[in-house]
């Protein structure tokens, strides 16, 4: 996160860290992406975060990546479901969404605590200009390697036509993506934040509108962050969860 601040305990309890173990086992797990807890056994993340044939785990309830404490819950990923139309081209990443099913006991995976809670899925579009929140352990203006402590920043939803102008993203911006941030640059998501949440508050509830997806570098003028438009994928999410639980 560029232009971010440290997150206080319990403020973003749906934020998870997606971690992979290198192909040679016995190596430790390391953070690759963010994710969002949407149900006890389900995490939403970006499609480009999934590394096939590698062990994955999810860390939740923790603000710091290098010190596990009593608030931390760590769960294995039982299965990753990448969107059927996920595609990466030199121009953009399309349908950049995936679901992770966690390994649990009798349908219970994450235990709800003050530090671990689910976020809501959206059921309406939001107006341009609304202030929303992004978070993650990704690259900062100080470090390409990311932050050890979870950071957050406020961003504004940017009008789709505006963000499709030639000097911004032109035709690379599809309808199931949206831009958020500031056209003057500075505050943005970055590498390592991918798959993490963009939430907006609606009558007190925190609703997951976007997943960090892509952008032309980070914090640059006229190059705001691009997010997967979660409203376009709610039916897909519900269908996959139902199919898998049957």
Phi, psi of 13 (to 5 degrees): -70, -5
Contact in structure between 158 and 183 (CB atoms under 8 Å): yes
Choose, from 17, 135, 194, 213, the residue flagged as catalytic. Answer: 194
225 binds ligand 4AZ (CB under 6 A): yes
Which pair of structure tokens corresponds to residue 175?
């309808």
Q: Is 164 a catalytic residue?
A: no
Q: Is 96 a catalytic residue?
A: yes
38 binds ligand 4AZ (CB under 6 A): no
Spatial separation of the C-alpha atoms in residues 130 and 65, rounded to whole Å: 30
CB of 215 to ligand 4AZ, least distance (A): 3
Contact in structure between 138 and 1 (CB atoms under 8 Å): yes
CB of 9 to ligand 4AZ, least distance (A): 25
218 binds ligand 4AZ (CB under 6 A): yes
Phi, psi of 125 (to 5 degrees): -80, 165
Q: Sign of torsion, CA 175 177 178 182?
A: negative
Q: Any idea of the CA torsion for 84, 88, 91, 95, to the nearest 10 degrees? A: 30
190 binds ligand 4AZ (CB under 6 A): yes
Choose, from 96, 147, 188, 206, the residue flagged as catalytic. Answer: 96
Q: Which is nearer to ligand 4AZ, 115 or 214 (CB)?
A: 214
92 binds ligand 4AZ (CB under 6 A): no
DSSP state of 111: P
> Nearest-CB residue to ligand 4AZ?
215
Q: Is 149 a catalytic residue?
A: no
Q: Which is nearer to ligand 4AZ, 118 or 191 (CB)?
A: 191
Residues interacting with ligand 4AZ, by CB under 6 A? 188-191, 193-194, 212, 214-215, 218, 225
């Amino acid at each position: 996160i560029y232009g971010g601040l440290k997150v206080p305990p319990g403020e973003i309890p749906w934020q998870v860290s997606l971690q992979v173990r290198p192909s040679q086992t016995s190596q430790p797990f390391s953070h690759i992406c963010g994710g969002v807890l949407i149900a006890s056994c389900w995490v939403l993340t970006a499609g480009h975060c999934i590394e096939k044939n590698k062990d994955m785990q999810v860390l939740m309830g923790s603000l710091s990546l290098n010190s596990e404490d009593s608030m931390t819950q760590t769960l294995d990923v039982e299965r990753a479901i990448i969107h059927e139309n996920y595609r990466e081209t030199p121009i953009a990443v399309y349908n950049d969404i995936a679901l992770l099913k966690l390994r649990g006991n009798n349908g219970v995976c994450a235990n709800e605590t003050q530090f671990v809670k689910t976020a809501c899925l959206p059921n309406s579009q939001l107006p341009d200009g609304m202030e929303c929140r992004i978070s993650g352990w990704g690259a900062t203006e100080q470090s390409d390697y990311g932050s050890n402590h979870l950071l957050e920043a406020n961003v504004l939803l940017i009008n789709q036509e505006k963000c499709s102008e030639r000097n911004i993203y032109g035709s690379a911006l599809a309808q199931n993506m949206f831009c958020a941030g500031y056209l003057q640059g500075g505050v943005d998501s970055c590498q390592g934040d991918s798959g993490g949440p963009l939430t907006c508050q609606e009558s007190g509830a925190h609703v997951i509108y976007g997943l960090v997806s892509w952008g032309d570098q980070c914090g640059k003028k006229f190059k705001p962050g691009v997010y997967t438009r979660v409203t376009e994928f709610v039916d897909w999410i519900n269908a996959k969860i139902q199919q898998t639980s049957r």
